[in-house]
Amino acid sequence: MTTLRQLFRHGWVLALVTTLFAACLAEGLYRTGAADRLEHLYSDVWHRVAGQRHAPAHAALVMIDDPSLNARPDEPLAFWTPHLARALATLKAVGARDVAVDFIFSGSPERWIQKLGLMAENASREYDRPFREQINQGHVLLAGFRVGAGSSIDDFVLPSPDYLLALPEMDMVRGIGLANLRADPDSAVRRFALTEAAGEFARKEGMPILGFGPLAAVRTSGQDPRAGTFRFGSRELAAAAELRIAFAGPPGTFKAVSFEKLLRDDATSLPEVLALAGKVVILGAGYAGMNDVHPTPYSTSIGGENALMSGPEIQANIVETMLGGHFVEASPAPVRIAAFLLLFGALAFVGVRLAPWRAVILVVLAAQATALVAYLMFKQDMLFPVAHLHIGMIVVLGCLALMRLTREERERARIGVMFGRYVSDQVMAAMMNSPELPELGGKSAQITVLFSDIRNFTTISEKLEAKEVVEMLNNYLERACAVLLAEGATIDKFIGDAIMAEFGAPLPQQDHARRAVRAAVALRRVAIEFRGWMARRFAGRDLPEFDIGIGLHSGEAVVGNIGSSARMEYTAIGDTVNIASRLEGMTKSTNCTILASRDTVAACGTDVRTGALHSLQVKGRHQPVEAYEVISDEN
């Protein structure tokens, strides 16, 4: 029990408990996702600080932008399929690996033409023929959308049947990707799922299964979209996996080629069009007023321009993530937990020994250092949960503060109980308000020791009854202690009729010698006044005149809790105490009430008036002790 108590007193066990508590809390928050929003703030900042992380090498953008619309102001976009066919032919001619058209062609212009009777039936069937032929060649990926759970046909928004029939072998699994984007609770898109329709219905009925961007990457890499796993670089991904998007950079990192340039007669000679060779081209909408824009790590509210990213560019980032192998890896659980324990443990075991403000500085510096390390890890496509780490650091700091507060309160309460009987209210208040509490073990200190004894006490005791002796002592000691405490004395003990007191402990007092002299003079006045009380109370009892002797000596002594584990008391020991006691014993033979050693008088300076100087041979010392009779505390 004593060993455990000592461990707690030294803070080792409490630091260990703090470490384990903070680590469990941080890991619990991580596993439950309760602090994910805070974690996103950190990772979003990393994205912003990093800027463009790498140049896109596998995916490219072609956008129907405002110049494209302005060139054909009278043509509704739904009737642009002939232009799309021409653009697709251009992309095939320059060697684009695959083209993913990020539009949902839920309606067919041919059906509208036929319904409105604008052309003969045979002529209307020729309007979309070039576009259907491009689809049928197998290098075009169309977009669909899942609006429900994917358990029925009504949960899918698909292209018009005319385009579905044009798919090679009518294979919707290979020819249609679901363009759903997954948003976090703060509406920002940071992740994607390979499979967007995981139900049995989709596989049984041959409905689209994979997401739009993942399907483009799977097709381009020559893998089967129906497989259960896919390999990209050194990674093998389960079809049910959900991954973070390794954004190449902020919006605009993918330099979009205007759709209008693909329609020019010299399109295949334009450098920006030729640069599309060998890449997966995402063809989408990028004109003003388009609703397909989304928050990303670059558009959250902290420290950015609040720029949204278009859906096609997000899909291009997904394709680039998979084909480029830029997978953002979360820290493995063993690494994460080990880091929590190591850092929290270091902070707890070091912080428990520091002053509160130093502990705060330590945690702030540690937070900055770990944030820098986390950012450098992010640059290498590794994510460490630094927000959870910082939460744990704050918990460690709070536990240290609470531990320090409760420990100091316990110490102050214990010291209050121990010293309250010995010292004045002023000294007690100063001790409690001091930033450093006195040590309860023994320590060396410069003090002045005062011994006072009642003369002829044995004779007085013989002539009084026991209860009268107690009455006399209580009355006298009450008055004597009052003047001692008024000067900041520590009442060490009562030895029968004698009083032992120290000045300068437990709190240091620079003027401890002057305080002791003033207390001795005041104590002599108390003795003179008490004579009157004795004469009145014990009149006619033939008692000797009440008088006292006082010895003072200043020097070094060991002060503190001294004793055994069963019984301890606060006291002073050493040669200084012995000399003060011997001087008090020689006051009667020198006919002095107060004898103060040369050391005490010298420490008082000019603030004392002395009488004769005595050279006294005290018991236990070979060299005589020089002592002055103290007449007054004013020179």
575-587 per-position pLDDT tens digit: 999 999 999 999 9
* pTM reported for the whole predicted model: 0.68
pLDDT-derived band of residue 441, with 50, 70 and 90 as boundaries?
low
> Does residue 605 register a pLDDT over 50?
yes
* CA 485 – CA 491 distance, rounded (Å): 8
List Cβ neighbours of 57 (8 Å cut-off, separation of 6 or more). 279, 320, 324
pLDDT-derived band of residue 190, with 50, 70 and 90 as boundaries?
very high
> Does residue 308 register a pLDDT over 70?
yes
Bigger pLDDT: 505 vs 284:
284
List Cβ neighbours of 481 (8 Å cut-off, separation of 6 or more). 491, 499
pLDDT-derived band of residue 233, with 50, 70 and 90 as boundaries?
confident
Cα maximum dimension of the chain: 150
- In whole angstroms, what separates CA 425 from the centre of its chain? 41
* CA 445 – CA 443 distance, rounded (Å): 7
CATH number for the segment(s) 436-632 = 3.30.70.1230
What's the average model confidence in pLDDT over 51-60?
Answer: 94
pLDDT digits (tens, 9 = 90+) for 75-130: 888 889 899 999 999 999 999 999 999 998 887 776 766 665 555 555 557 788 89
* CA 32 – CA 480 distance, rounded (Å): 69
CB < 8 Å & 24+ apart, contacts of 358-361? 359/397, 359/400, 359/401, 360/397
pLDDT reported for residue 359: 86
pLDDT-derived band of residue 520, with 50, 70 and 90 as boundaries?
very high
pLDDT digits (tens, 9 = 90+) for 412-428: 555 555 555 544 454 45
* CA 461 – CA 278 distance, rounded (Å): 117
pLDDT reported for residue 117: 58
> Does residue 3 register a pLDDT over 60?
no
Residues of the chain within CATH 3.30.70.1230 domain(s) are 436-632
What single string gives the DSSP state of each residue in 21-83? HHHHHHHHHHHHTTTHHHHHHHHHHHHHHH---S---SEEEEEE-HHHHHTSTTS-GGG-HHH
* CA 176 – CA 358 distance, rounded (Å): 61
Report the b/e string of 418-453 with b at 16+ CB within 10 A: bbeebbbeebbeebeeeeeebebebeebbbbbbbbb
Inter-CA distances, 415 with 418, 420, 421, 505, 561, Å: 5, 8, 10, 13, 11
Query: Is 226 within 8 Å of 277 (Cβ atoms)?
Result: no
Number of C-beta neighbours around residue 378 at 10 A: 21
Mean pLDDT of the chain: 87
> Does residue 490 register a pLDDT over 80?
yes
- In whole angstroms, what separates CA 18 from the centre of its chain? 13
Whether the link from the prior residue into 225 is cis, omega within 30° of 0, is no
* CA 528 – CA 55 distance, rounded (Å): 100
> Does residue 2 register a pLDDT over 60?
no
Percent of the chain beyond pLDDT 70? 88
